Chains A and B, each alone.
Chain A
Amino acid sequence: MGFDRRKFLKTAGLAALTVAGTPLKSLAQDDSTVIEAVTEVSGLPQEHPITAKRWAMVIDLQKCAEHENIKDCARACHEEHNVPHFDNTKDEIKWIWEEHFEHAFHELENEHLKEKFTHTPVLLLCNHCDNPPCTRVCPTGATWKRDTDGIVMMDWHRCIGCRYCVAACPYGSRSFNWRDPRPHIDKTRPEFPTRMRGVVEKCTFCEERLAKGQIPACVEAAKNDALVFGDLEDPDSKVRQLLKDRFSIRRKSSLGTQPEVYYLV
């Protein structure tokens, strides 16, 4: 029997399946990161990066309350990262912002809470959890937890804008670009990209600044050490000292997300 039509179609179908199977090689893709330190040439990132095994932030609520302008932190972050400003809460995008205690720690319902705290502004941002529910649900790997330093990263090239991560985040840390953000950016900084409509964004612990040896913008803006940033795995770090000496709480700690932003009461 010759090579008839049926045989041709069978062979072509098998060939097509084989070709379609090649993307599966990306399953072997390793997301573990290597942050190199490069010396010699000046002006390059990673000349003197600051690295850690597990980045964490400690926020001192007392010092926040004493700060003359708590909005400095959010302004520094949003200016550094070209975060757009919308007048309405519907399209709002925020990487770091203030809430009242009762909203920030909604699970600590307490009608007779110490007066001082009922109006204490609390700075909220992505907690860069150790067990993040947002990275678990992302269908493309556009957000993931870095093995090297624990930062929950965003890849805006890969994000398909499904907003599953926004649904999964128990802290409301993530924002979606409902529109083109560019017309709403007060002053665009060329050193950092903007994002486009249709992707989710959030705080990335200023990983691009860390690579250049700079602390996060919000930490820098909080001049009175209200925000402390450091390596939780380093027993001598300031964050570890603070957590040893003072009473700290985390948001919704019973959910098992292991947030790495601690609040000193």
Chain B
Amino acid sequence: MLEKALSGDRRYWTWIIILLGVIGIGTLMYIRQFNEGLGITGLSRDVTWGFYIAQFTFLVGVAASAVMLVMPYYLHNHKSFGKITILGEFVAVSSVIMCMLFIFVDMGQPFRITNVFLYPTPHSVMFWDTVVLSGYLCLNILIGWITLDAEKKSVAPPRWIKPFVYISIPWAISIHTVTAFLYSGLAARPFWMTAVLAPRFLASAFAAGPALIIVLCLILRRVSNFDAGKDAINKLSVIMTYAMVANVFFVLMEIFTAYYSAIPEHAAHFNYLFFGLGDANSLVPWMWLSSILAIVSLVLLLNPKTRHKENILILACVTVFISLWIDKGMAMVVAGYIPNPLGTVVEYSPTLPELLITIGVYAIGALLITLLYKIALSVKKRAAA
């Protein structure tokens, strides 16, 4: 099946070459970062996690969202999702690999990463995060491969894959819960230490993921003749709507608790994000942009008339994705450090090498999606013929 990724038209190969070029630039930048150290990023003694970990946090959510395609089909028999579960699974594979790459480029000693497995530490949430993410990657590769292979042969998938599919559903929930636990268990960071963080992560995951998948489906309809079907797209957009409502609700809950209790330690981080603290206000425009985009997306999505119009749906998906990318990425991660535990404010903004490495990793993800989708679509085309 892999050979199907090697045949394509001019547009396909042009896209691949562009991606390889971007990956090359990112790799060169990473080599410089590896040799000189993470000092070439904008990170500092006070803000030790930044752009890379922000991408990681956001993408774990996108990876978990595959469950929103698997669950309706396998648990609730919505036949219309049958065609596109593979797209969700491949998004999961690509996202998890990007997550792992972002962790890798963020580490001070990346080649010691096997220490996490050689010296397991069950008391550390990060150990479990590594375990569940690796497991989720294997699950999705296995399930994707077996089901696609069966489709190629025009037979039903073998029965033994069913338990794996069922396991992948709670497993998807677990990867994002565990990632939330990385943050929500730290007494040192009151901005993160909130019980609603895990539900918030899941809600934003199930909004951002389907948003991406809807956009990918619509792109696929343009570049190939694969049609996900109006029913599946509509149902996905409903899932996305409900999830976005839940997410905005959770954010409002956080804002209420911080501001009504008026505890400086809690409110200070929100003040930094929305109003800035003194001269430190680099995230303020981003935060307001994220909030406005969230409202706009809800206005577009809650009304079925606008939700069903494809052009508006695409706009809604893009606004959801960008709003959540800002909110769950940079805003959540960086504001946890500002102000720091001693009350001082030290700002952070990513440097050019950091951005180039990030874009390189995203290009790797895009390449993976391209190759995997090419294989999936070729198989489906063959099987339909």
Contact = CB atoms under 8 A, between A and B. Distances in A.
Instruction: Give yes or no for direct A-B contact (beta carbon below 8 Å).
Output: yes
Contacts of B185: 137
Given A24-B120, A137-B124, A178-B43, A162 B115 contact: no
A257 B108 contact: no
Given A133-B187, A161-B108, A171-B341, A139 B36 contact: no
Interface stretch (B44-52, B132-140, B354-362): B44-52
A185 interface: no
Contact of A89 (B38, B45, B110, B124): B45
A71 to B, nearest CB: 19
B271 to A, nearest CB: 15
Chain B: number of interface residues, binned into ranges: 35 or more
A236 B265 CA distance: 39
Interface string A158-178: 111111101111111001111
A226 to B, nearest CB: 21
A147 interface: no
A136 interface: yes
A141 interface: yes
Contact of A176 (B48, B124, B344): B48
Interface SS of B by simple majority: loop
Contacts of A99: 342
B107 interface: yes
B2 to A, nearest CB: 18
Contacts, number: 148
Interface string B16-50: 00000000000000000000111100011110110
Interface in A119-166: 133, 136-142, 158-164, 166
A103 interface: yes
B163 interface: no
B107 A198 contact: yes
A33 B123 CA distance: 19
Contact of A106 (B39, B186, B341): B341
Given A160-B107, A161-B109, A166-B48, A29 B188 contact: no
B108 A89 contact: no
Contacts of A162: 103, 106-108, 126
A177 B92 CA distance: 34
Contacts of A93: 45
Chain A: number of interface residues, binned into ranges: 35 or more
Contacts of A9: none
A83 B342 CA distance: 22
B115 A168 contact: no
A160 B108 contact: yes
A24 B125 CA distance: 18
B342 A197 contact: no
A255 B265 CA distance: 13
Nearest to A139: B126
A95 B87 CA distance: 50
Contacts of A19: none
A169 to B, nearest CB: 6
B123 A136 contact: yes
Nearest to B337: A167
A141 B48 contact: no
B120 to A, nearest CB: 6
B292 to A, nearest CB: 30
B285 interface: no
Contacts of B275: none
Contacts of B265: 107
Contacts of B189: 167
Contacts of A163: 48-49, 108
Interface string A81-107: 000000001111100000100111011
Nearest to B113: A160
A40 interface: no
B242 interface: no
B121 interface: yes
Nearest to B125: A137
B188 A133 contact: yes
A23 interface: yes
A26 interface: yes
A109 interface: yes
Contacts of B108: 159-163, 176-177, 197-200
18 contacts: A29-B119, A103-B343, A133-B186, A133-B188, A138-B124, A139-B130, A158-B115, A158-B119, A159-B108, A163-B48, A163-B49, A164-B124, A167-B186, A167-B189, A167-B336, A170-B341, A178-B39, A255-B188
Given A23-B118, A90-B44, A159-B108, 10 more contacts: A133-B187, A133-B188, A137-B126, A140-B121, A160-B116, A167-B48, A172-B340, A176-B45, A178-B44, A255-B188
